[in-house]
Amino acid sequence: MHPNGPRTGGASGGETQERSARLTSWLRSSPSTRHRREFKDIESKFALRTPEDTAEDTCHIVPGVSESVAHCHFNHSSKTFVVIHGWTVTGMYESWVPKLVAALYKREPDSNVIVVDWLSRAQQHYPVSAGYTKLVGKDVARFINWMEEEFNYPVDNVHLLGYSLGAHAAGIAGSLTNKKVNRITGLDPAGPNFEYAEAPSRLSPDDADFVDVLHTFTRGSPGRSIGIQKPVGHVDIYPNGGTFQPGCNIGEAIRVIAEKGLGDVDQLVKCSHERSIHLFIDSLLNEENPSKAYRCNSKEAFDKGLCLSCRKNRCNNVGYEINKVRAKRSSKMYMKTRSQMPYKVFHYQVKIHFSGTESDTQTNQAFEISLYGTVAESENIPFTLPEISTNKTYSFLIYTEVDIGELLMMKLKWKSDSYFSWSDWWSSPGFAIEKIRVKAGETQKKVIFCSREKVAHLQKGKGSAVFVKCHDKSLNKKSGW
């Protein structure tokens, strides 16, 4: 319960306006008018939203006006989330704002969720709004400093969440507070005007005790991609490589236009960019099952399955329950996701050694793998190997949307080419496979699978090879991991 009584919410538009008018009138006659003059140049507004009304700014905390804090039923004994929106074409809040507010309250019912309104500055031409992030950051810092000085509110309870341009405003705010805030989460910080900016002008690891960043739309050349490409936090996570998100494709675009008309085209442009917010919302709502990300030097190495280690903080939870790891340099992490919430998937590294008498190298070969576990199965997962040749070992990453439990059996199929080939008609290329090595990212278990026959003969376009857990005691750590 809030110390100043229960928060009220759910007011209608008329009630909201009436309440706002009453508050304005009351503030004008307030004894702290003189104190408020010190803050009169703060243009950003600070709305303390309520769990009952996550979509409306029904009560504003006004820096310099102590009474406004009590009036909005600020909870001094709980943590505070400060949500900072980004650039807006319409000059209105986007639909994600109430969703994030609701998810924060669902996870932390006693907290304070404050939405920073800088809409008038955020709807200018992009370079103008980008320049305003400095002033918005300054406004937010002065608000936090005032709360700390006036009410002794601990900044260790403050978590800033900034999206796009709002992430850089959060960073500037963090750099200007008297004491470091606990945490800043950057939700796909904006790229243009910031990719090559110096640290004081953008989000950086120095801006809070802990800075975590989700990069979801870093497509294109540096400085021109919508989201910033370089790491700017203590932990920088690049879901699906950070360039493009599942479900945000052209097919989806055509479907949305068909269903909703051209008015929603801007939603498609923002789809991957905004996915950063929905991944964070997912982490708030699905706390018992957090997604995992893995430290890796590059997207290419991750796609080969080479980075599924959790040793020495090499893996971490994504979103709200992230472990606050602060290395000397930023840690780039990668993960795969589903196309919709819940986004969590289960990652596996698969290593296959192809042997046989074939000497030619085959390029861009399509396969399907099926996994059978103690809980469920995931069948016909497609993957492509850029090349395969005799007596070489190949490592690749696959992932499943279902938790199959402990892996018991696998099937491997080499698909025919989509075009007709006379050589395939006369002879089908094939390889011998003795063992498949699998590492599960989420459980960190390593398992070796043997062919049901002594050696599996995998032929292009002809059936599946079946592999089961090996029972050979000699298969110890020296066996290829």
Given the residues 273, 291, 331, 378, select the one marked as catalytic.
273
Minimum mean pLDDT range among 151-165, 351-365, 411-425: 411-425
Q: Is 164 a catalytic residue?
A: yes
Minimum mean pLDDT range among 15-19, 47-51, 336-340, 382-386: 15-19
As a whole number, mean pLDDT of residues 249-277 equals: 70
**DSSP conformation letters of 453-470:** SSSEEEETTB-EEEEEE-
The average confidence (pLDDT) of the chain is 88
Residues belonging to the binding site are 202, 207
Dist. CA 273–CA 218, nearest whole Å: 8
Q: What is the pLDDT of residue 18?
A: 63
Residues belonging to the binding site for Ca(2+) are 202, 207
Among 163, 244, 235, 176, smallest CA distance to 205 is for 235
Cis peptide before 63 (omega within 30 of 0): no
Q: What is the pLDDT of residue 11?
A: 47
8 A C-beta contact, residue 345 and residue 399: yes
Q: Is 188 a catalytic residue?
A: yes
Q: Is 212 a catalytic residue?
A: no
The pLDDT confidence band at residue 471, using thresholds 50, 70 and 90, is confident
DSSP 50: B
Q: What is the pLDDT of residue 327?
A: 80
The strand pairing partners of 295, in sequence order, are 333
Residue 93: which residues within 8 A CB-CB, separation 6 or more?
Answer: 85, 115, 119
Given the residues 53, 57, 117, 188, select the one marked as catalytic.
188
If one compares 2 and 147, the residue with the highest pLDDT of the two is: 147
Minimum mean pLDDT range among 2-16, 134-148, 184-198, 329-343: 2-16
Kindly report, residue by residue over 86-98, the tens digit of the pLDDT. Answer: 999 889 999 999 9
Dist. CA 347–CA 130, nearest whole Å: 38
Q: What is the pLDDT of residue 260?
A: 63
Q: What is the pLDDT of residue 96?
A: 96
The pLDDT confidence band at residue 272, using thresholds 50, 70 and 90, is very high
